[in-house]
Structure 1
Amino acid sequence: MDNLSAFQHLSDSHCLAFSIGYQTSSVTFYCKFEPKDLLNACNVLPKFKKGRIYSLKFATSELNAVLPILSKFINKSCSRETQVILTGEAARENVSNIQETLKNSLILRDYSLCLVTGFFLFLKNIRDERMTIDFLDHPKYVFVNPCVSYDQYLLVSWNGKINYFSVKSETEFEKIGHSFFDSDYLLGIARGLLDVENFDELLKLAKLSKSYIKLIYSGYEYPAEVELLKENRNILDSLDDRSYSGDRSEVAWNLLWTWLNNIGQLAAMYANLHHIDKVVFVEGSSNDSLCNDILDISFRFWSQNSSKPLFLRHEGYLSSIGALMKNLALVQQKDFNYSWEENFFLGTGMFGKEISFSGTKFMQMVLDSVGTTLTCCPLLADPETYSPDLQNIYVKDEYRAYWVRCMEGNTIKSTERMLNDTCDNIVKAMVSHYSQQMLSRLQLLKDIPFVFGNLSMRIILDTVDQCSKELGLIGIYQKIKTSESRLALGLFLERVNTLDKLPAPERHQELVTSVLIGNLFDWGSTEASALISSGKFGYKEAADTLPSRPWLYDDLDKWIERMDGPPHKKALIFVDNLGFDLIIGVLPFARELLIRGTKIILCSNREPVLNDVTHSELTKVMKQVASISTVFNEALTAGNLVLMEMSKSSCCVDLGFIDTQIAEACKDVDLLVIDGMGRGVHTNLNASFNVDSLFLSVVKDTWFASTLGGQWLSPICKYTPAM
């Protein structure tokens, strides 16, 4: 489909950044993206336009095929010349070729500057970017928390030329060494001995050797080799038993091993010599995991296992993105300096399936501007150990199989619902395409569960949301949200008047119960949506359906006891669904806190996700509620109730990346309240905070509830005092 091709957006970009290496290269550009609205929901939804970065990685041998494609698209724009930036180890050798084909002048940028700039951009913005490797264990890839930092890095670039950079910050770095045994020497030997033309041919030949099969296949990926590997865990000692047999594949293997071992040995030497904390291998000659496995083994051996080297999921994109970031015209654009988030739907991910265009194969990485600057939530007790996700379904095969199967069923049902709701043939075609794309993407996540880091429900749900936005299917729950909100507003006054008549302990219990009842109205849950769509499930039926105590997590008594104490100064509340959940659940709860003298921040998504409330919808609802509630009217007027939007919109919440404005408003917060299954169960349930926290949700999936020790519709009321 054209709308999934990066090249169609190229004519809107006025800057193109190349990084040309001797083996692999990448090209990156920036554009603006605004989702189409095929369902005509934007008359009630906030319009949003994002900055976007596309980066395409390809074999340098394909450069002559790539340049005409780029020329075709960039020359569509006649308003002004496209600026072309060039960096990389092999940049100067390709200046005339690029200049003649694109018919543009070039700006050369220092490779080390671009590499370091791109390196820190990924470290600051992307979760699970860094990883260590152990191919004998499961998981093979262990991802490093983004909040963990080191005083100094040794970056190892081995895309043809072998260079070592000492890096302390984005502005403080230097090249401290290199190896003369670069890819030119390697391929010169390989051509003479083996008659191979390039690195990929050498790699393919090496993988035919018995040594490769014996020593490198990981037990997780290749179960048949597990016992063989267990018999001899000392990898390097076993290498001494090999001898030259005249087999071309064995010669290729030994040559490849020697070359990569030299890179790893020098990395260990430079790290020791300069007392550097962490070694990171970046921008290599191949995308194949075999090379990283050998580099890992080599470095650990020569460093005597003093530390594990780091690798990056996006290692081949760093310098071209860094070159783009140094473009002065783009830097002046407001959203170019904001934080970025990874697009799981459009990106090919780590070792994912290549995309093909005009016969040329690419790996693709896409970053979307968040529209503001993100930072770590100051309420986290220990940011360096914080992981948002409850279940790591990369590691747990059973969990992954279930959730992928569940989401496949969800995709099919939501597709049927959308097809039944429209007579427009264009919309029908796009809905069918949505189904195909999502099922394909779910299969990718099942087959390669580390493709975007530690696979989790957060990644799966964000992928679904990104797919629907990309294909113009935003606001699919808008009619449902509007209808349910109208019903809930009609019940609001009656509900709060009933609550006001209750004595304190009973009132606090009813307030919590109301939030749990409201949380049953969740169209993102397959089992809950089946209940709601029956047409016979209103607030009364939901109240009758909620299980009696004791609940799965039942800290209600502790919460009631806390409410007998002094009021909290300020509460930060993450809201969930629009309708009964918000209006009959969260708002009466928030009203009680306001009456006690607690200031409140209500946080909601900027963009539509499932039936979650957006900031614009919350603003509208609060005006309506304030017109009938003195408490809310006075709180809004006095600034004791503030509505804030989360720019990184999701049905989950990663507290490692929240809006700076929200983080600053947290300075005097002493109560965190999280409503909903996505924000409070799939994510953050096991997180620790330096303030009181209250999690309110209902687990609306039978299998998921069973893994937590509960059953279908298991309520969660988890109250934890400040750490």
Structure 2
Amino acid sequence: MNNHNLNVQGAAISEESFEQQGTRDIVFPHQLEDLAQIAVDIGGSLAKVVYFSRSPDSPGGRLNFVKFETQKIDECVDFVYKVLYDRYHGQIPVSERLLAEEHINLFRERLKVTMHKEDEMECLITGLNFLVRQITYEVFTYDERRPEPMQFEATPDELFPYLLVNIGSGVSILKVTSDETYERISGTSLGGGTLWGLLSLLTQAKSYDEMLELSKHGDNKNVDMLVGDIYGGDYPKIGLKGTAIASSFGKVFKTPAEERSKFKQEDISRSMLAHGIQRIYFSGFFIRGHPITMNTLSYAINFWSKGRVKALFLRHEGYLGAMGAFLQHVNAPHRVSRIGSFTENFSQIQKISGTSLGAVGALDEFPSSLTAFPLLEDPHTYEPDTVQMNEPELQHYWIDLLDKNLGDLVEMVLEWKADQTDTKSRASSFEAMYREHLQRLRTEPLAYGALSIRSLLNLREQCLREMGFTDIFEGVKQKENTSAMEGLATLLSKLDVLDDKEKLDVLIDNVLAGNMYDWGSTSVMEMLRKGELDFLTAKATVGRPAKFDTSKALKERLLAGPAYQKAVIFVDNSGADIVLGIIPFAKYLLSKGTKVILAANTSPSVNDITAVELAALIEKVAYFDATIRRSWADRALQVVGTGSASPCLDLHHVSVELAKACEDVDLVVVEGMGRAIHTNFYATFKVDSLKIAVFKNPQVAKTLGAEMYDAVCLFDSPGSR
């Protein structure tokens, strides 16, 4: 292997993406100092650039990914120069990792920098460990024999040991046993560079991506000798199929020289992809997410290991060395800390090449460190998504629905954000951006990882934020909060005179009625726009089918006691939902001596209440309600951010602050369609729990055996299972 790497580090920089260069972005974790950095991994075929940028509006930053053909290294140097000098005025001090004198001199002369070497293999492993741990859908398998060839792999509980086979110009095979220990157990000079060179001689393709494209249209059995050509079919005694390659280019050798021109360059390309790489799994820009390559590797690994080993591929496959070089300037403990504290943002995506499967986006850092919710019964088997989108019909339903609703969102942007700069053009860009994503997902449903209602809704929020619309429902939320607050004092007074049994009936009815006020639901949005929904109408609309209503057990538990020690309520919408539904329920628990945590989104999403907004509401309620005022003052009532900016709830990732606050909780309440139906419908907890929401989508209702506007009020106690 002959990779060479450049590291650049120094002052903070602003966030841009250089989309014209094929940039792929990943946000990097909090760093203790204000740091910007560039790493370049120069291989025999490709030069990969990773540079760090920080936005003044974000507590984290962003890693940007760019690639260049090594034969065009001047373009790479010019790009780094532009980053250093044109954008940052030469204020970034530089350290490098370069091994080839020709490249050292080139960078020195152009950039005026000082260089230092780092270990190539260590960089590869460090990069892989970071990416596998931090990115949910980083690793996948590929097998064309399956109905869905591409399947994503969860991060293993124990990452080590593993085998890393890096296919660059040559091949290195590494056995990795920990973050610090590894050994090179094998390798070969025959790799991507060999293939590229041979295909350059044998075909007219001018770039490696052209060669990959040629292979898609070819058939290697026209040039390779297969097992079936020798034995007339399969060779079952040793488990070989008749389609397995017995001799690459064997048919070319047996063909008279004057007839060899009949072999198509497309067939030659496909044969070469299958030759020499069948024992590998796998990283390096050689693979490029190319289906034929991955399927060949998967088949070979499965065959020779007798199904015991999987061929694993990475979406950021070509950037391991550059990523690792970048991480050499981050303290080792910090490389593995805050695992799971990132979400991949696909609003701006890049593909490795036109032939590749999948795409990558930015990895947005949450405002706070995240961890698994401590009260999940089994975090390893927990799956947040209720409906699995495996069928094309279901995928198209949700894509079509969100496509249809785009116009309403744009109208809302124009109505409530008309005073912002370039609102109309940015709203138009948002609409085009999200619609383009939906179109891609129609034909490539796994392009951004596993498809779910949650992922589609998150993608919409990401596109809004990318175009500068961080909270398009801000005005709606303020208006509805104000309206609901006008009736809260009267409601609380009426509840105070009821006995506990009557009070609980009203409280549960009110939570369900409040949950109808959901601008994330198409049908409800129309009612809200027309002013056709008030609290009494909402109460009358909600159905209470027995199969989704175990509230009797909850009421018996609350009435019989003892009182719960501490409850956490994952709240949902602004307006009537939080004000007339959740706050009175929280007051009831407080009056019984239960401490209450109201867990709200850290950042805006549709009309969901945020933690900051909810704290301001509680301050107002404290003025006229003694129970709320006393509880707020002595911290028996708290508002804590979940760390989320999503209309759904993934309990794999909640803020560390919330997780710590919930360690002694003995009642978990999950409220709202996005949190208790789209996600967490099947979630189980170590303690008593209540899921309470209203079905406001006909497809999800039908899937779960409900009708539109049916209520979910499911109480579960571990002791009664």
Instruction: Give the TM-score, by structure 2 length.
Output: 0.84
Distance in 2, Cα, partners of 1:609 & 1:519: 16
Matched, 1:26 2:48: yes
CA 1:483–1:203 in 2, change beyond 3 Å: closer, same or farther? closer
Deviation at 1:136, TM superposition (A): 1.7
Deviation at 1:581, TM superposition (A): 0.8
1:517 aligned counterpart, secondary structure: helix
Deviation at 1:34, TM superposition (A): 5.2
- Match 1:405 to one of 397, 400, 421: 400
Aligned residue in 2 for 1:244: 251
8 A contact 2:51–2:63 mirrored in 1: yes
* Aligned residue identity for 1:209: G
Matched, 1:283 2:284: yes
Aligned residue in 2 for 1:69: 79
Deviation at 1:695, TM superposition (A): 1.1
Matched, 1:97 2:106: yes
Aligned residue in 1 for 2:229: none
Distance in 2, Cα, partners of 1:136 & 1:576: 43
CA 1:574–1:50 in 2, change beyond 3 Å: closer, same or farther? same
Q: Percent identical across equivalent pairs? A: 29
CA 1:409–1:252 in 2, change beyond 3 Å: closer, same or farther? closer
* Aligned residue identity for 1:244: K
Distance in 1, Cα, partners of 2:517 & 2:706: 20
Distance in 2, Cα, partners of 1:686 & 1:373: 26
Distance in 1, Cα, partners of 2:430 & 2:651: 30
CA 1:475–1:51 in 2, change beyond 3 Å: closer, same or farther? same
Deviation at 1:172, TM superposition (A): 2.9
Show CA shifts across 1:258-282 (max 9, x none). 2111x43xxxxxxxxxxxxxxx522
Deviation at 1:337, TM superposition (A): 10
Structure 2 residue ranges without an equivalent (≥5): 1-14, 26-33, 225-233, 253-259
Aligned residue in 1 for 2:555: 560
Structure 1 residue ranges without an equivalent (≥5): 36-47, 216-228, 265-279, 355-361
1:482 aligned counterpart, secondary structure: helix
After the TM superposition, which residues 420-459 of structure 1 pair with which residues of structure 2 at under 5 Å, given as runs?
A: 420-421=415-416, 422=418, 426-459=422-455
CA 1:478–1:552 in 2, change beyond 3 Å: closer, same or farther? farther
- Match 1:482 to one of 456, 478, 496: 478
Distance in 2, Cα, partners of 1:501 & 1:53: 58
Matched, 1:711 2:707: yes
Deviation at 1:87, TM superposition (A): 5.7
Matched, 1:606 2:602: yes
Matched, 1:209 2:204: no
Show CA shifts across 1:552-587 (max 9, x none). 622212222222332222212211111111111111
Aligned residue in 2 for 1:181: 190
Deviation at 1:403, TM superposition (A): 0.7
Aligned residue in 2 for 1:357: none
Matched, 1:499 2:521: no
Show CA shifts across 1:26-74 (max 9, x none). 2122222356xxxxxxxxxxxx554222223454455433432342343
CA 1:446–1:424 in 2, change beyond 3 Å: closer, same or farther? same
Aligned residue in 1 for 2:171: 162
Distance in 1, Cα, partners of 2:410 & 2:88: 41
Q: Which moved more, 1:291-300 or 1:656-665?
A: 656-665
2:692 aligned counterpart, secondary structure: strand
8 A contact 1:27–1:57 mirrored in 2: yes
Deviation at 1:349, TM superposition (A): 6.0
CA 1:462–1:350 in 2, change beyond 3 Å: closer, same or farther? farther
Distance in 2, Cα, partners of 1:169 & 1:330: 13
Aligned residue in 2 for 1:593: 589
2:322 aligned counterpart, secondary structure: helix
2:440 aligned counterpart, secondary structure: helix
Distance in 2, Cα, partners of 1:436 & 1:149: 42
Aligned residue in 2 for 1:269: none
* Aligned residue identity for 2:550: D
Distance in 1, Cα, partners of 2:355 & 2:605: 27
* Aligned residue identity for 1:504: D
Aligned residue in 2 for 1:145: 154
1:621 aligned counterpart, secondary structure: helix
Matched, 1:118 2:127: yes
8 A contact 1:13–1:29 mirrored in 2: no
Deviation at 1:328, TM superposition (A): 5.1
8 A contact 1:55–1:366 mirrored in 2: no
- Match 1:82 to one of 92, 97, 100: 92
Distance in 2, Cα, partners of 1:101 & 1:364: 31
1:367 aligned counterpart, secondary structure: strand
Deviation at 1:546, TM superposition (A): 1.8
CA 1:502–1:17 in 2, change beyond 3 Å: closer, same or farther? same
* Aligned residue identity for 2:651: L
The alignment of Structure 1 onto Structure 2 pairs a total of residues equal to 668
* Aligned residue identity for 2:243: S
* Aligned residue identity for 2:619: K
8 A contact 2:222–2:251 mirrored in 1: no
8 A contact 1:85–1:324 mirrored in 2: no
Matched, 1:257 2:252: no
Matched, 1:109 2:111: no
Aligned residue in 2 for 1:15: 37
- Match 1:676 to one of 672, 677, 680: 672
Deviation at 1:623, TM superposition (A): 0.8
8 A contact 2:315–2:359 mirrored in 1: no
Show CA shifts across 1:236-294 (max 9, x none). 44225785154144444333212111x43xxxxxxxxxxxxxxx522241312321211
- Match 1:577 to one of 562, 573, 578: 573
CA 1:154–1:554 in 2, change beyond 3 Å: closer, same or farther? same
Matched, 1:472 2:504: no
Deviation at 1:198, TM superposition (A): 5.7
CA 1:68–1:350 in 2, change beyond 3 Å: closer, same or farther? closer
Matched, 1:638 2:634: yes
Distance in 2, Cα, partners of 1:337 & 1:294: 33
Instruction: Give the TM-score, by structure 1 length.
Output: 0.84
Aligned residue in 1 for 2:505: 509
Distance in 1, Cα, partners of 2:158 & 2:198: 40
CA 1:661–1:420 in 2, change beyond 3 Å: closer, same or farther? closer
8 A contact 2:545–2:711 mirrored in 1: no
Show CA shifts across 1:434-480 (max 9, x none). 11111111112222111221111211111111111121122211111
CA 1:446–1:86 in 2, change beyond 3 Å: closer, same or farther? farther
Aligned residue in 2 for 1:226: none
Higher RCO (C-alpha under 8 Å, 6+ residues apart):
1
Deviation at 1:533, TM superposition (A): 0.8
Q: Which structure is larger by alpha-carbon Rg, 1 or 2? A: 2
* Aligned residue identity for 2:43: G
* Aligned residue identity for 1:371: P
8 A contact 1:87–1:320 mirrored in 2: no
Deviation at 1:201, TM superposition (A): 4.8
